[in-house]
Amino acid sequence: MGFRSIRARIAVPYLLLIFLTMAALALYITGLVEGRNRMRLERQLETQARLLGDMVRPAIWNGTEGALGSWVRQWEDILQARVTVIASDGRVLADSHSDPQEMDNHLYRPEVQQALTFGHGSSVRYSRTLQEELLYVAVSVAGDAGQRAIVRLALPLADIRREVGQLRRTILVATLSAAGVALLLAALISERTARPLQRLREAVERITHGEFDAYLVPGGRDEMAALLRAFNRMAEQLRSTMSDLDNERAQLMAVLEHMADGVLITDGEGRVQLVNPSAETLLGIKEEQALGRSFAQVVREHQIIQFWQAYRATDKAQEELIEAGPGGSFVRCLVTPLPSLERGAALVILQDLSQIHRLETVRREFVSNISHELRTPLASLKVLVDTLRDGALDDPPAAARFLDRMEAEVDALIQMVDELLELSRIESGRVPLRLLPIRVEDVILPAVERLRPQAERAELSLEVALPGDLPMVLGDVVRLNQVVTNLVHNAIKFTPTGGRVSVSAECVADEVWVRVQDTGVGIAPETLPRIFERFYKGDPARSDGGAGLGLAIAKHIVQAHGGRIWAESVEGQGSTFFFSLLIAGSK
Q: Report the range of poorest mean pLDDT among 10-14, 560-564, 580-584.
A: 10-14
Q: Does residue 28 surpass a pLDDT of 90?
A: no
Mean of the pLDDT values across residues 63-88?
A: 81
Domain ranges of the chain: 6-164, 217-258, 259-352, 357-428, 436-582
Residue 540 pLDDT: 46
Mean of the pLDDT values across residues 462-489?
A: 90
Q: What is the pLDDT of residues 116-163, one digit of tens each?
A: 888 888 888 877 766 778 888 999 988 777 788 899 888 887 776 777
Q: Does residue 503 surpass a pLDDT of 90?
A: yes
Name the burial class of residue 347, with classes exposed (0-12), middle (13-18) and buried (19+) by CB atoms within 10 angstroms of its CB.
Answer: middle
* The CATH fold of domain 259-352: Beta-Lactamase (3.30.450)
159 Cβ contact partners less than 8 Å away, ≥ 6 residues apart: none
Q: What is the pLDDT of residues 428-444, one digit of tens each?
A: 666 677 889 999 999 99
Instruction: Quote the DSSP letter at residue 541.
Output: G
Residues 410, 385: contact at Cβ < 8 Å?
no
The fraction of the chain above a pLDDT of 70, given in percent, is 83
Same topology for domains 259-352 and 357-428, yes or no?
no
Rounded distance between C-alpha atoms, residue 346 and residue 336, angstroms? 6
Q: Report the range of poorest mean pLDDT among 5-19, 257-271, 282-296.
A: 5-19
Partnered with residue 438 across adjacent β-strands are: 473
Residue 502 pLDDT: 94
Rounded distance between C-alpha atoms, residue 167 and residue 234, angstroms? 58
Q: What is the pLDDT of residues 79-100, one digit of tens each?
A: 888 888 888 888 888 888 888 8
Q: Which architecture characterizes domain 6-164 according to CATH? A: 2-Layer Sandwich (3.30)
pLDDT class of 480 with cuts at 50, 70, 90: very high
Q: What is the pLDDT of residues 524-547, one digit of tens each?
A: 888 888 888 766 665 544 444 455
Name the burial class of residue 204, with classes exposed (0-12), middle (13-18) and buried (19+) by CB atoms within 10 angstroms of its CB.
Answer: middle
The DSSP-derived string for 378-433 is HHHHHHHHHHHHTTGGGSHHHHHHHHHHHHHHHHHHHHHHHHHHHHHHHHHT-S--
Residues 503, 566: contact at Cβ < 8 Å?
no
Q: Enter the CATH code of domain 436-582.
A: 3.30.565.10
Residue 543 pLDDT: 45
Q: Report the range of poorest mean pLDDT among 47-56, 75-84, 284-293, 323-332.
A: 323-332
Cα-based torsion angle of the residue sequence 451, 454, 455, 457 in order, rounded to the nearest 10 degrees: 160
Q: Enter the CATH code of domain 357-428.
A: 1.10.287.130
Quote the pTM value: 0.41
Residues 38, 164: contact at Cβ < 8 Å?
no
Residue 219 pLDDT: 64
Q: pLDDT averaged over the chain?
A: 79
Q: What is the pLDDT of residues 220-260, one digit of tens each?
A: 667 767 777 787 788 778 778 878 888 887 887 777 777 77
Choose among 514, 495, 509, 494: nearest CA to 565.
514
Q: What is the pLDDT of residues 168-188, one digit of tens each?
A: 777 778 777 877 777 777 777
